[in-house]
Amino acid sequence: MTDISLKILDMECAACVSRLDRILSRLPGISDVRINFTASNAAITYDERQTDLASISAQIKKAGFRVPIEEQDLLLQEAGPVPEEIVSGLRNVPGVKDVSVGQDGILTVFLWPVGTDARALVQACADMDLVVTPGEARGGDEDQAIEKQMGLLKTLVESAALTSLLMLELHPKVQFVIGTALQFGPGKHFYKGALRDLRNRSFGMDTLLSLSSSLIYLYSSHTALTRKQNFTLYFGSDGVLLSLILFGKYMEQVAAGEANSAIRKLLHLQPKTAMVLSDGAYVETPVENIRQKDLVLVRTGERIPADGTVVEGNGAVDESMITGESLPVDKQPGDRVIGGSLCRSGSLTVEAEGLGKDSLLQQIVATVQRAQCEKAPVEKYADRVAGWFVPAVIGTAASTFLLWYKVLSPGDLEKALLACCDVLSVACPCALGLATPTALMVSSSTAAENGILFSSGRFLENAYLADTVLFDKTGTLTKGAPEVTDVVPSDGGLEDELVRLCASAEVLSDHPIAKAIAEYAAARFPDFLPEPAERFETFPGLGIRCEIAGQQILCGNRALLRENGVLIAPQSDLSPASGTEIWVAAEGRILGRIDVADTLKPETREAVHRLKQAGKEVWLVTGDNESTARSIASEAGIEHVAWSVLPTEKAELIRRLKAEGKTICMIGDGINDTPALADADCSIAMGSGSDIAIESAGILLPSGDLKKLPDVFALSAETMKTVHQNLRWALFYNGISIPVAAAGLLHPSICAASMSLSSIGVLLHSLRLQKFGRKKERDPS
Ligand code: ADP
Ligand code: MG
């Protein structure tokens, strides 16, 4: 199975989406299709043995849409013939459509618009021992958006010019000539759309408009050519109708571009070149040519070109585009940095690790784009309404005609025709179609800008419904950086041996507790070298087991020891635990205990308080022991506590609470909470810096900042409010305007204007959601 996100052009309206969706879903080999109208792309899952991009794109073309081909030049090191194997090798790179060899040492690669980056091509050439550097790229996102906008603008200007000529009340025959030019010049735009609708038997705005404007045109032409006196021509009205709708479409495109700007901004963070160490000197290199483990120099004011680790130097780095946090973070050797973040002061030498598609930035963009493709349940409902809307309007228009012609003013063709055309042009299926996707789109990009990532529109839709919030402890409520507070050997044992043995085992684990113990050992014994351990095993929520020097070592909580048949006698000589107790046993004999304690994040109390204020029931669910759980809970202000809960039991608890009728939001660090996160109605994973498990939850807070939690719920509520207002507005508008038009009370140009305004209104109303982030900035409380 292959997953792609394919660019598709010429989707004009929500009805196009449902049509394309139907056509693609029917194709053999395609198992899943999700179309994002606003971003003009489709996420497609297909079986590469049954179909390929070429045949998928042929079907899309047949349905009347375009799949834009992109071009990427590759510059050869030295001009000369390119071996046939290399050309055919390049053709086999996923996403490549064709390759052409130019005279001047340039290879031009034609790409399907699935986001294949130049890096993959350069790499593929390198694998075949051909050194190339990426050259110019053509036909990318921006080019297409601009091309489309310019095309529409040109049509609009033509239409407006012809319309103003018509306003001059020229001789009827001259009006007829200009009207015809208008109808089949700029008006072609709508006929093309209507034809496409007809071919696919699903009708949108273009159908309504071509019907209405053709009727007006035919009637006026007939009058102009046959009648001698006492007549009115409507060529001018027709022109105004077409021009206004074109103007509306143009504005819609501008606004849709705005809605998608957050994603573009993110992609622009990636610098084009970087200073890469090669043969002892730093050389300016295109980022596509950076390889794993390359050393890259980043100076003040530059953006970091790839995810990686600082190996030298130090500086303050602004990671706000990922975490939404505007304070720069100090970086020293050993710290991880994120590609795209800005070095505000100092200079850093970074060892490159996450490149291209593997970089955090690209993954975030992919996540947001995928989320925007996925249809939220409310969207499916709106699409269904839009599907039967157009036939219903045509029916109403026909009845209006008959009513006027037969009953209200019998025999008055002009009056009946005008009323019928008014109904056709005032009805606005687009307002309905745009109501949901634009709101979801704007709010998911706004969220991304504020360090909140929704992995699907579904979570935007239901996050605010959660009435019960469950927190994991380590790394979620607490900093996730525990420290050793006490080392307690059992009688006769040596403290040093206890620490060395436990740390040797824990270096293999990535649990925060393990890191604390390993760091403690390293600080205590400057010469500390872990003893080699074998058969290492992790027991989530319990601890670890391994073999060191032939002895079986256990490190973990009481439950771990109990499960392995080691009994902890009530040992009088052991002082009471000062935090989380990590018991250490060798060959069934208890060596002692290491206590670790983690501190609350500074914002925990306030975040919990605000959640409770918002009426949510807050729980702490942890694998830790009762006393730690209780003390952390009371410190954080949480009343409901569940302790000694294994990760799988967390999922059970969630199911039980759900059975009580609660809607659960689980918040964890995504490390060993995956089952619980998956079972909750909505799940939030906290990250810290660059350790983000993108796939693990519905909503991600890469900054790990709990203060953003109330925002998550607020944004979700705000978004759904906007969606419902949009839908209500669209229904209200159509419900009022259609009857008024049918009554013959509106002038055709008023109809066109109000139809355009209603869909622009929906867009602008959705764009208001962008203010969400800005309001927060001004007013931090
Ligand atoms: P939380 O629910 O607080 O996130 P976990 O489920 O990750 O905690 O772990 C629960 C308990 O399991 C810890 O308090 C600790 O006693 C034990 N434990 C887990 N992993 C380890 C480890 N690597 N070494 C020692 N103890 C561990
Ligand atoms: Mg945990």
**Residues near 473 by Cβ (< 8 Å), separated by ≥ 6?**
598, 620, 621, 622, 623, 624, 629, 632
Domains in the chain: ranges and CATH? 2-62 (3.30.70.100), 71-139 (3.30.70.100), 483-597 (3.40.1110.10)
> What does DSSP assign to residue 638?
-
Ligand 1 lined by 555 (C-beta under 6 Å)? yes
- Gap between the Cα atoms of 72 and 76, Å rounded: 13
Ligand 1 centre to CA of 582 (Å) is 9
Burial class (CB in 10 A: 0-12, 13-18, 19+), 432: buried
Q: Which atom of ligand 1 is nearest to the CA of 478?
A: 3
**Residues near 349 by Cβ (< 8 Å), separated by ≥ 6?**
277, 295, 296, 297, 298, 310, 311, 312, 313
Going by alpha carbons, the residue nearest to atom 2 of ligand 1 is: 622
Ligand 1 lined by 582 (C-beta under 6 Å)? yes
H or E segment and range at residue 654: helix 647-659
Q: Which atom of ligand 1 is nearest to the CA of 542?
A: 12
Ligand 1 lined by 541 (C-beta under 6 Å)? yes
- Cβ 584 vs Cβ 593: under 8 Å: yes
**Does residue 323 register a pLDDT over 80?**
no
Burial class (CB in 10 A: 0-12, 13-18, 19+), 169: exposed
Scan for tokens 């409380």, then name that residue. Answer: 781
Q: Which atom of ligand 1 is nearest to the CA of 624?
A: 14
Ligand 2 centre to CA of 747 (Å) is 66
- Cβ 179 vs Cβ 186: under 8 Å: no
- Gap between the Cα atoms of 221 and 180, Å rounded: 9
- Nearest ligand atom owner, CA of 516: 1
Q: In the numeric block, which tokens belong to residue 436?
A: 């949901």
**pLDDT digits 0-9 by tens, 90-133:** 888 888 888 888 777 788 889 888 877 777 888 888 888 888 88
Q: Which atom of ligand 1 is nearest to the CA of 621?
A: 2
What 3 state SS string does 206-243 have? Answer: HHHHHHHHHHHHHHHHHHHHHCCCCCCCCHHHHHHHHH
Ligand 1 lined by 689 (C-beta under 6 Å)? no
Confidence at residue 142, expressed as pLDDT on a 0 to 100 scale: 66
Going by alpha carbons, the residue nearest to atom 18 of ligand 1 is: 543
Confidence at residue 383, expressed as pLDDT on a 0 to 100 scale: 65
Confidence at residue 470, expressed as pLDDT on a 0 to 100 scale: 93
What are the residues facing 770 on neighbouring strands? Answer: none
- Gap between the Cα atoms of 274 and 288, Å rounded: 10
**Does residue 693 register a pLDDT over 60?**
no
* Angstrom distances, CA of residue 573 to CA of 361, 372, 534, 561, 586: 53, 60, 32, 19, 19
Coil, helix or strand at residue 466: coil
**pLDDT digits 0-9 by tens, 648-689:** 788 889 999 999 999 999 998 766 677 777 788 888 888 754
Ligand 1 lined by 557 (C-beta under 6 Å)? yes
**Does residue 531 register a pLDDT over 80?**
yes
Ligand 2 centre to CA of 120 (Å) is 37
- Cβ 526 vs Cβ 606: under 8 Å: no
Q: In the numeric block, which tokens belong to residue 615?
A: 């009426």
Q: Which atom of ligand 1 is nearest to the CA of 476?
A: 4
**pLDDT digits 0-9 by tens, 28-60:** 888 888 877 666 778 888 888 888 888 898 888
Ligand 1 centre to CA of 624 (Å) is 6
Active-site residue (options: 10, 73, 472, 595): 472
Ligand 1 lined by 593 (C-beta under 6 Å)? no
**pLDDT digits 0-9 by tens, 393-429:** 889 999 999 999 999 888 888 889 888 888 888 887 7
* Angstrom distances, CA of residue 485 to CA of 361, 597, 604, 605: 38, 6, 22, 23
Ligand 1 lined by 472 (C-beta under 6 Å)? yes
Confidence at residue 773, expressed as pLDDT on a 0 to 100 scale: 65
Ligand 2 centre to CA of 677 (Å) is 11
Ligand 1 centre to CA of 741 (Å) is 69
Bigger pLDDT: 499 or 287? 499
For a mutational test of ligand 1's pocket, the pick from 622, 667, 677, i.e. the residue with the most ligand atoms closer than 8 A to its C-beta, is 622
Going by alpha carbons, the residue nearest to atom 21 of ligand 1 is: 543
- Gap between the Cα atoms of 168 and 165, Å rounded: 6
- Gap between the Cα atoms of 448 and 364, Å rounded: 8
**pLDDT digits 0-9 by tens, 345-384:** 889 999 998 877 778 777 777 777 666 666 667 766 766 7
- Cβ 369 vs Cβ 266: under 8 Å: no
Residues surrounding ion ligand 2 at CB below 5 Å: 472, 474
Confidence at residue 722, expressed as pLDDT on a 0 to 100 scale: 93
- Cβ 779 vs Cβ 267: under 8 Å: no
The per-residue DSSP string of 357-419 comes to GGSHHHHHHHHHHHHHHSPPHHHHHHHHHHHHHHHHHHHHHHHHHHIIIIIISTT-HHHHHHH
Q: Residue 139: left if φ>0, alpha if ψ -120 to 50, beta else—which one?
A: left
Ligand 2 centre to CA of 579 (Å) is 16
Confidence at residue 202, expressed as pLDDT on a 0 to 100 scale: 66
**Residues near 157 by Cβ (< 8 Å), separated by ≥ 6?**
none
Q: Percentage of the chain surpassing pLDDT 70? A: 90
pTM, two decimal places: 0.72
**Does residue 260 register a pLDDT over 70?**
no
Q: Which atom of ligand 1 is nearest to the CA of 557?
A: 16
Q: Which atom of ligand 1 is nearest to the CA of 475?
A: 4
Scan for tokens 């909470």, then name that residue. Answer: 673
**Does residue 706 register a pLDDT over 70?**
yes
Coil, helix or strand at residue 508: coil
Q: In the numeric block, which tokens belong to residue 747?
A: 């002038």
Ligand 2 centre to CA of 630 (Å) is 16
Q: The sheet that has 41-46: what strands, in order across it? A: 2-7, 41-46, 30-36
For a mutational test of ligand 1's pocket, the pick from 557, 583, 593, i.e. the residue with the most ligand atoms closer than 8 A to its C-beta, is 557
**Does residue 339 register a pLDDT over 80?**
yes
- Gap between the Cα atoms of 59 and 358, Å rounded: 31
Ligand 1 lined by 595 (C-beta under 6 Å)? no
Ligand 1 centre to CA of 540 (Å) is 7
Could you tell me the pLDDT band of residue 781, with boundaries at 50, 70 and 90?
very low
Nearest to 291 by CA among 94, 131, 90, 92: 131
Ligand 1 lined by 513 (C-beta under 6 Å)? yes
Alpha-carbon torsion angle 458, 464, 465, 471, nearest 10: 100
- Gap between the Cα atoms of 97 and 112, Å rounded: 6
Confidence at residue 594, expressed as pLDDT on a 0 to 100 scale: 92
Q: Over the range 648-668, which residues count as b (16 or more CB within 10 Å of their CB) and which as e?
A: ebbbebbeebeeeebbbbbbb
Ligand 1 lined by 433 (C-beta under 6 Å)? no
Confidence at residue 775, expressed as pLDDT on a 0 to 100 scale: 55
Ligand 1 lined by 666 (C-beta under 6 Å)? no
Ligand 1 lined by 349 (C-beta under 6 Å)? no
Going by alpha carbons, the residue nearest to atom 16 of ligand 1 is: 557
Ligand 1 lined by 628 (C-beta under 6 Å)? no
Ligand 1 centre to CA of 507 (Å) is 15
For a mutational test of ligand 1's pocket, the pick from 484, 485, 513, 584, i.e. the residue with the most ligand atoms closer than 8 A to its C-beta, is 513
**Does residue 572 register a pLDDT over 60?**
no
The per-residue DSSP string of 586-623 comes to ETTEEEEEEEEE-PBPTTHHHHHHHHHHTT-EEEEE-S
- Nearest ligand atom owner, CA of 543: 1
Ligand 1 lined by 556 (C-beta under 6 Å)? yes
Ligand 1 lined by 319 (C-beta under 6 Å)? no
Ligand 1 centre to CA of 459 (Å) is 29
Span of 223-237, 485-499, 624-638 with lowest mean pLDDT: 223-237
Confidence at residue 372, expressed as pLDDT on a 0 to 100 scale: 65
Confidence at residue 273, expressed as pLDDT on a 0 to 100 scale: 81
Confidence at residue 780, expressed as pLDDT on a 0 to 100 scale: 46
Going by alpha carbons, the residue nearest to atom 22 of ligand 1 is: 543
Distance from chain centroid for Cα 523: 42
Ligand 1 lined by 476 (C-beta under 6 Å)? no
- Gap between the Cα atoms of 698 and 714, Å rounded: 16
* Angstrom distances, CA of residue 111 to CA of 73, 88, 224, 397: 11, 14, 52, 46
Average pLDDT over residues 728-739: 90
Average pLDDT over residues 591-597: 90
Active site residue 472: yes
Average pLDDT over residues 77-86: 78
Average pLDDT over residues 21-32: 87
Ligand 2 centre to CA of 480 (Å) is 9
What are the residues facing 108 on neighbouring strands? Answer: 73, 100
Spell out where 558-698 has E strands: 580-586, 589-597, 617-621, 640-642, 664-668, 682-686
Ligand 1 lined by 544 (C-beta under 6 Å)? yes
Burial class (CB in 10 A: 0-12, 13-18, 19+), 707: middle
Bigger pLDDT: 367 or 635? 635
**pLDDT digits 0-9 by tens, 604-631:** 999 999 999 999 999 999 888 888 889 8
CA angle 630, 631, 634 (to 5 degrees): 85
Confidence at residue 261, expressed as pLDDT on a 0 to 100 scale: 65
Confidence at residue 658, expressed as pLDDT on a 0 to 100 scale: 92
- Gap between the Cα atoms of 600 and 134, Å rounded: 49
Bigger pLDDT: 567 or 142? 567
- Cβ 30 vs Cβ 100: under 8 Å: no
Q: What is the mean pLDDT of the chain?
A: 83
- Gap between the Cα atoms of 781 and 766, Å rounded: 24
- Cβ 64 vs Cβ 19: under 8 Å: no
